Amino acid sequence: MFLPMETRIRPATQADIRAINAIYNHYVGGSTCTWHLTEETDEGRAAWLKARGPAHPAIVIESAGQVLGWGSLSTYNSRQGWSGTVEDSVFIHHAHHGQGLGKKVLQELLRLADALGHHSVVARISGEQAASRQLHATLGFEESGILRGVGRKFGQKLDCVYMLRSRPQP
């Protein structure tokens, strides 16, 4: 019998850098859910977190003080006309898949995006990442394009699937 765990979502802090990196770097070396080919350093991740402004939050989901996953909203494009569009990232510790944590993190990111006035959230997902595509579709994202063969990792060509969730404009 599966018993749901108590979780809490909160803003990421510098104290979370090692946990965030451990989660992320697991996928760098073993998955196509990120196309990074080298692991992120703690120093690089600390600078990433410090450089984030209030319009681009990073959050963690934790249970009993242990970080189980993280997510962020990032600038999609630096040109001013894109200012209302952000890109989401969600990474859950590999030992905690299938527990609904990714959905909780993405729901909170969407709530934050709405509260911050972002009208569109873009997800760029590696084509074979069916679980991520399904998660986003469950929360109202629609597939909006595929760039075929644009990525390379583990000696294979990868497709980039764009998914979009937009709020109705006033």
| CA–CA distance, 61 with 92 (Å, rounded to integer) | 9
Judge whether residue 1 has pLDDT over 50: no
Contact present, 163 and 122 (Cβ < 8 Å): yes
Judge whether residue 101 has pLDDT over 80: yes
Distances (CA, A) of 132 to 21, 96, 99: 20, 14, 14
DSSP for 3-19, please give it: -PPP-EEEE--GGGHHH
The reply to whether 126 falls in a domain is yes
Question: How much is the mean pLDDT over the chain?
Answer: 94
CATH number where 151 lies: 3.40.630.30
**pTM, to two decimals:** 0.94
Question: φ, ψ for residue 18 (rounded to 5)?
Answer: -60, -45
Instruction: For 3-48, write each residue's pLDDT tens digit.
Output: 467 999 999 999 999 999 999 999 999 999 999 999 999 999 999 9
User: For residue 69, what are the domain limits?
Assistant: 8-166
What integer pLDDT is reported at residue 5 of this predicted model?
74
Q: How many CB atoms lie within 10 A of CB 147?
A: 13
Total domains present in the chain: 1
The reply to whether 3 falls in a domain is no
Instruction: For 137-154, write each residue's pLDDT tens digit.
Output: 999 999 999 999 999 999
